[in-house]
Amino acid sequence: MQDIWLEVGALFISAFVSSTIAPGGSEAVLAYMVSAGQYQIAALVIVATIGNTLGAMTTWGLGLFAAKKFPVATLLSEKKQKALSIVRAQGIWTLFFSWLPVIGDALCFAGGWLKLPLLPAILLIFLGKLGRYVVIAWMFA
């Protein structure tokens, strides 16, 4: 039983880290655990989604902090500048696409920078990430 908690905890940590500014491979961890057939797939998907959403909200918070500390957007990297312009032009709905590789983390950062409403941001990020993990679990079940 203790091994299960360690393994599921590792999935959570992998998902969290994968959604912050550090690279990670939560999709591979989830795929492995689903294909092993030892766990409830729905529980794995929820754990990964919550971890990834919390990581994204950490990045969102970093964007909020950065906007207060350094309000001039020109100080941002090119990737974050592009994400900022996308989110500024398209609005909060872009946060649904935070699951995308490369630009997803920058979208969350931009959402914080632009001080988008917290609860809708959490919901859209959660739904986007849930969709991605459901597809991965379905592919490896």
pLDDT the model gives residue 19: 87
How many CA atoms, within 13 angstroms, populate the side-chain half-sphere of residue 22? 11
pLDDT of the residue at 21: 65
When comparing pLDDT for 24 and 42, which is higher?
42
Mean pLDDT of 2-9: 82
Q: For the residues of 11-57, what is the DSSP string, one character each?
A: HHHHHHHHTSSS---HHHHHHHHHHHT-S-HHHHHHHHHHHHHHHHH
Structure tokens that stand for 100 in this block = 């995308």
pLDDT in tens, 61-75: 999 999 988 776 667
Is the model's pLDDT at 29 over the cut of 60?
yes
- Count of C-beta atoms within a 10 Å radius of residue 28: 12
* CA 1 to the chain's CA centroid: 28
pLDDT at 27 over 80: yes
Q: Quick one: pLDDT at residue 73?
A: 67
